[in-house]
Amino acid sequence: MTLSPPDLALPADGSLTGLQAVIFDWAGTLVDFGSLAPTQIFVEAFASFGIRVTLAQARGPMGLSKRQHIHRLLQEDAVRQQWRSAFGREPGQTDVDAIYARFMPLQIAKVGEFSAPIAGAAQVLRWLRGQGVKTGSCSGYPRAVLERLLPLAAEAGVAPDHAVAGDELPAGGRPGPYMALANVLALGAGDVRACVKVDDTCPGIEEGRNAGMWSVGISLSGNEVGYSPQEHAQARPQDVQARVQAAQAKLRASGAHYVVPSIAALPQVLQAIAVRIRAGEGPDSARST
């Protein structure tokens, strides 16, 4: 369901008139098909404390900042019960800090292994620049992790105009609008209603909606489906379709105006959004399609 770069159909010049900026998530959206890097490291970080967290559990809060993510996992009944059995008390903030301290070096060391661009990402970014549309990005990754990821992605042609990390805004991260709005300020976009947020997680979709933007969900390549490239290649078509449909439902329930399988299918959606912008339609009043 993803498109290889030679098959990527890009609308003609001028088709994005009215659209000012597109702000992307990273893992599962621009790079790291299946959003594998953060999920596997959460499993490893908790395991170092003797706590078993499944990949499915680790995926649940994806899109939040990593501290928020750890806190949310510690509140799950199965995880809390393990923590009480292991340490004889309820998990608290000092435990969030301790797990985060274990998580960070693991994530910095491993993120490079999952930095491969998702098919079409470099081409779409290049096309947007050619159309005069600014490109931003934000992530639940802390700045230290992004600083490892950004140059590796840039070498492969994935280099948005700006990047905001999940730990660098005092107001907080997703689902609040702050990282998306920080991109708007940095890029000099004049109207949030002419901006689009693209994300594979529900908090990321909510972030875009809370910022007053159009929001586009990513299903197949993202966290909600969760296939590695190898798993996707070997999966039965009916199983892939079932996961994609479940992801679409969750992303739409979070407020996505559109849902596409991957960034390779984004250009036609951006063209449709630009038409709606030129017609005077805004994201708050727009129906999902």
- Of the residues 7, 13, 32, 66, only one is catalytic, namely 66
47: Cβ contacts below 8 Å, ≥ 6 apart? 53
Is 25 assigned a catalytic role? yes
Q: CA 31 to CA 118: how far, in whole Å?
A: 5
Q: CA 289 to CA 262: how far, in whole Å?
A: 16
227: Cβ contacts below 8 Å, ≥ 6 apart? 33, 34, 220, 235, 240, 243
Q: CA 96 to CA 67: how far, in whole Å?
A: 7
Q: What is the four-CA torsion angle of 241, 216, 26, 175, rounded to 10 degrees?
A: -110
13: Cβ contacts below 8 Å, ≥ 6 apart? 130, 131
Which two three-digit tokens encode residue 275? 């038409």
- Of the residues 25, 32, 95, 200, only one is catalytic, namely 25
Is 66 assigned a catalytic role? yes
Q: CA 96 to CA 102: how far, in whole Å?
A: 10
Q: CA 140 to CA 128: how far, in whole Å?
A: 24
Would you name the residues annotated as active-site residues? 25, 66
